[in-house]
Amino acid sequence: MNLYAFCENGPANHIDPLGLDTNDITKSSNPAVTGGKKSCCSVEDKLKELEKMIKNAVEKTQNDSISISVVLTRSQLIQFANSKDPIKIPEPKILHREYAGYICCDEATGEVSSTGPFPGTWRLSNGDYSDNPNVLANATGFQPTSGNVSVDDNAKCGKGLTPVAYYHSHPPESQGFSKGDEGSFLPIALGIPGWNKWLLFNPTTRKQFTYEYTEDIK
Ligand SMILES: [Zn+2]
Is residue 75 situated within a structural domain? Answer: no
Whether 41 has a pLDDT exceeding 80, the answer reads yes
Which residue in 193, 184, 196 sits closest to 25, CA to CA? 184
Q: Which range, 13-27, 88-102, 112-126, 166-180, is most confident?
A: 166-180
Cα(176) to ligand 1 centroid in Å equals 8
Cα(143) to ligand 1 centroid in Å equals 11
Whether 87 has a pLDDT exceeding 80, the answer reads no
Number of domains the chain contains = 1
Structure confidence at residue 111 (pLDDT):
94
Cα(213) to ligand 1 centroid in Å equals 19
Tens of pLDDT, residue by residue over 170-186, are 989 889 998 888 888 88
**Side-chain-facing half-sphere of 50: CA atoms under 13 Å:** 30
Cα(191) to ligand 1 centroid in Å equals 9
Cα(148) to ligand 1 centroid in Å equals 10
Of 105 and 21, which is predicted with more confidence?
Answer: 105
Is residue 16 situated within a structural domain? Answer: yes
Residue 27: band (very low, low, confident or very high) from pLDDT cuts 50, 70, 90: very low
CA distance to 86, 108, 166, 190, 215, per residue, from 174 (Å): 33, 38, 18, 10, 24
Is residue 85 situated within a structural domain? Answer: no
Of 214 and 51, which is predicted with more confidence?
Answer: 51
Is residue 74 situated within a structural domain? Answer: no
Structure confidence at residue 215 (pLDDT):
65
Is residue 82 situated within a structural domain? Answer: no
Which residue in 103, 124, 100 sits closest to 114, CA to CA? 103
Cα(34) to ligand 1 centroid in Å equals 22
Spatial separation of the C-alpha atoms in residues 119 and 166, rounded to whole Å? 14
Radius of gyration of the chain (CA): 21
Residue 133: band (very low, low, confident or very high) from pLDDT cuts 50, 70, 90: low
Spatial separation of the C-alpha atoms in residues 192 and 174, rounded to whole Å? 7
Is residue 143 situated within a structural domain? Answer: yes
Is residue 72 situated within a structural domain? Answer: no
Cα(177) to ligand 1 centroid in Å equals 5
What CATH number should be reported for the domain holding residue 54?
Answer: 3.40.140
Spatial separation of the C-alpha atoms in residues 9 and 3, rounded to whole Å? 10
Domain that holds residue 178: 3-67+95-212
Cα(160) to ligand 1 centroid in Å equals 27
Is residue 86 situated within a structural domain? Answer: no
CA distance to 18, 113, 146, per residue, from 103 (Å): 18, 6, 20
Cα(78) to ligand 1 centroid in Å equals 37
Out of 10-24, 131-145, 191-205, which region has the weakest mean confidence (pLDDT)?
Answer: 10-24
Cα(192) to ligand 1 centroid in Å equals 10
Structure confidence at residue 139 (pLDDT):
66
